[in-house]
Amino acid sequence: MTYERRDFDQDSSPKPVEVGKEYDVEIEETSRRGEGITRIEGLVIFVPKTKPGDKVRIKVTNVSRRFAEAEVIGEAEEKSETE
């Protein structure tokens, strides 16, 4: 009996973020390693040197199957009340 190998590549699903793109986020919690955690459309993003409550602009440096990593590049832009 021959078995056919099937690759169920879950990585092919589109991610809500891309490497090199910038996003304004608020850090929600802290990881076990001490990194800040935020989420964009459910995808967990680890951001070093941040803490819960920080509103920062991040640049995505790595996207993997289950999470992404980013670096802080500045403070998040405040949205005006007319938006």
Q: Which CATH number fits domain 16-75: 1.10.286.10, 2.40.50.140, 3.20.20.370, 3.60.15.10?
A: 2.40.50.140
User: Which pLDDT belongs to residue 14?
Assistant: 87
| Cβ atoms 16, 39 nearer than 8 A | no
**Average pLDDT for the chain:** 88
Q: Which of 28-32, 42-46, 53-57, 76-80 has the lowest mean pLDDT?
A: 76-80
Per-residue pLDDT band at 3 (split at 50, 70, 90): low
Q: How far is the C-alpha of 45 from the C-alpha of 40, rounded, in Å?
A: 8
Residue ranges covered by each domain of the chain: 16-75
* pTM (global) more than 0.85: no
For 59-79, what is the mean pLDDT?
94
User: Which pLDDT belongs to residue 81?
Assistant: 58
